[in-house]
């Protein structure tokens, strides 16, 4: 039996789980290797945790290589991202592996609206699965007059019958689709990483919320890793709303104009992460699926609560509250547009392994965990 001192295990920062493939088609094997540092540990466990640290599943690790799907079949039933965390000697070891189900997506239901100033915009009023297409009832033609020819009466009746039959067929088809939603096609496994935003006012470290907006988080990580945000300015700074509440700082456009992007648009995701201080969210125009690379950091819950459900929030600030507030305090050339006199600059971004995920303890044995907003008092 091999015993590893806790101090040695805690030195492991990289994810100790190494999947052979990133994307796993549903029902296939999921080959995963353990990092060499853990291959000799006999008491290692694997836990599947949600965003709050609740245990969804657990098992003993059988050896240096295993089939994750067979070892922990609960991963195939996930409806949102969760974290696979290795434990040894009752301590979490290394960064977790994000298990992201590949599902048919939720699409926003929009309606036209306008601001008090009369500016038109599209408002999110609900969500539906992309495969759950609404079935509209038929609009029957007017009944012919009572003195119409019998042939006309018959033709009208036959048309109504066909329209009604088609409507009922569509209803049955929609009901069958709803029974299998969301449609699962596979599982994506990604080592969890933090994004360190290096600015000329200090560093801001952001943790991805894979459970809230997995595809947006992955998109942002790729842009960050590929150097897209290097030497990009904060082009829009809105320190306060009209009611005096701190609002947002916005960056991510290499042109610095607020009109630029990577050339691709990102579909909006149904994020449940509240827009609180330090939360990072995607900027967009009136089209809900028009996010590209621009993002904003929230300055207060009071100022940005109205953005919940209408913008895709995908991460939380772990450190760097001082840098955020310093950027929000710069002198503005035009308070209307939020254009700063000397725009704060992103020097670059780097990815680092995320900290290990902890298991949430029973409420009676642990103090309440502070929210990100509590960690950064206003």
pLDDT tens, residue by residue, 3-18: 344 444 455 689 999 9
CATH number of domain containing 283: 2.40.100.10
Residue 299 located in a structural domain: yes
- On whether the CB atoms of residues 186 and 25 are closer than 8 A, the answer is yes
Residue 358 located in a structural domain: no
- The answer to whether residues 98 and 127 belong to one domain is no
Three-state secondary structure of 39-87? CCECCCEEEEECCCCCEEEEEECCCCEEEHHHHCHHHHHCCCCEEEEEE
Tokens of 285: 């125009």
What does the pLDDT read at residue 221? 97
Per the structure, the count of domains in the chain is 3
Q: How far is CA 54 from CA 43, 51, 145, 272, in A?
A: 21, 7, 67, 17
pTM of the complete model beyond 0.85: no
DSSP 257-268: SS----S--B--
Phi, psi of 332, rounded to the nearest 5 degrees: -105, 135
DSSP 8-48: HHHT--S-SEEES-SEEETTS--EEEE-GGGTTBSS-EEEE
CATH number of domain containing 53: 2.60.40
- The answer to whether residues 333 and 309 belong to one domain is yes
- The answer to whether residues 98 and 111 belong to one domain is no
Residue 363 located in a structural domain: no
What does the pLDDT read at residue 1? 30
Segment 17-62, tens digit of pLDDT: 999 999 999 989 999 999 888 766 778 899 999 999 999 999 999 8
The helix/strand/coil state of 270 is coil
What does the pLDDT read at residue 63? 84
Asked which of 102, 129, 163 is the last residue of a domain, the reply is 102
What is the distance between the alpha carbons of residues 140 and 147, in angstroms, rounded to a whole number?
A: 20
Alpha carbon of residue 337 to chain centroid: 28
- The answer to whether residues 115 and 143 belong to one domain is yes
Asked which of 102, 135, 167 is the last residue of a domain, the reply is 102
- On whether the CB atoms of residues 317 and 204 are closer than 8 A, the answer is yes
Asked which of 179, 210, 232 is the last residue of a domain, the reply is 179
First to last CA, the chain: 52
What does the pLDDT read at residue 39? 67
Residue 360 located in a structural domain: no
Residue 184 located in a structural domain: no
- The answer to whether residues 175 and 197 belong to one domain is no
- The answer to whether residues 161 and 199 belong to one domain is no
- The answer to whether residues 226 and 291 belong to one domain is yes
Low-confidence ranges of the chain (pLDDT < 70): 1-12, 39-40, 361-378
Residue 215 located in a structural domain: yes
Q: Which domain holds residue 70?
A: 6-102
What does the pLDDT read at residue 74? 96
Residue 157 located in a structural domain: yes
What does the pLDDT read at residue 12? 64
- The answer to whether residues 214 and 202 belong to one domain is yes
- The answer to whether residues 94 and 122 belong to one domain is no
- The answer to whether residues 143 and 40 belong to one domain is no
Residue 378 located in a structural domain: no
């Amino acid at each position: 039996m091999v015993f590893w001192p806790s101090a040695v295990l805690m030195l492991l920062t990289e994810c100790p789980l190494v999947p052979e493939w990133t994307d796993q088609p549903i029902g296939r094997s999921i080959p995963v290797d353990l990092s060499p540092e853990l291959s000799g540990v006999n008491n290692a466990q694997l836990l599947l945790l949600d965003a709050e640290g609740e245990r969804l599943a657990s098992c003993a690790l059988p050896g240096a290589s295993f089939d994750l799907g067979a070892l922990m079949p609960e991963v195939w039933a996930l409806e949102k991202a969760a974290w696979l965390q290795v434990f040894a000697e009752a301590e979490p070891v290394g960064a977790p592996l994000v298990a992201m189900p590949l599902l048919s997506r939720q699409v926003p239901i929009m309606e036209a609206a306008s601001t008090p100033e009369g500016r038109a915009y599209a408002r999110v009023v609900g969500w539906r699965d992309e495969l759950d297409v609404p079935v509209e009832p038929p609009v029957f033609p007017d009944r012919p007059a009572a003195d119409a020819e019998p042939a006309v009466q018959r033709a009208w009746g036959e048309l109504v019958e066909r329209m009604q039959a088609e409507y009922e067929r569509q209803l049955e088809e929609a009901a069958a689709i709803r029974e299998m939603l969301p449609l699962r096609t596979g599982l994506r496994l990604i080592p969890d990483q933090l994004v360190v935003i290096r600015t000329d006012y200090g560093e801001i470290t952001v943790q991805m919320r894979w459970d809230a907006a997995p595809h947006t988080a992955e998109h942002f990580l790729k842009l960050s890793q590929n150097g897209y945000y290097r030497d990009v300015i904060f082009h829009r700074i809105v320190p306060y709303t009209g009611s005096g509440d701190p609002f947002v700082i916005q960056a991510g456009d290499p042109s610095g104009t607020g009109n630029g992007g990577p050339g691709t648009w990102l579909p909006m995701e149904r994020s449940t992460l509240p827009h609180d201080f330090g939360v990072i969210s995607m900027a967009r125009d009136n089209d809900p699926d028009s996010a590209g690379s621009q993002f904003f950091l929230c300055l207060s819950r009071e100022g940005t609560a109205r953005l919940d459900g209408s913008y895709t929030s995908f991460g939380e600030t772990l450190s760097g509250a001082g840098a955020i507030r310093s950027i929000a305090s710069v002198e503005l050339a035009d308070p209307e547009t939020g254009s700063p006199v000397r725009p704060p600059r992103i020097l670059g971004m780097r990815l680092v392994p995320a900290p290990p995920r902890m298991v949430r303890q029973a409420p009676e044995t642990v103090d309440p965990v502070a929210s990100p907003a509590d960690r950064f008092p206003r």
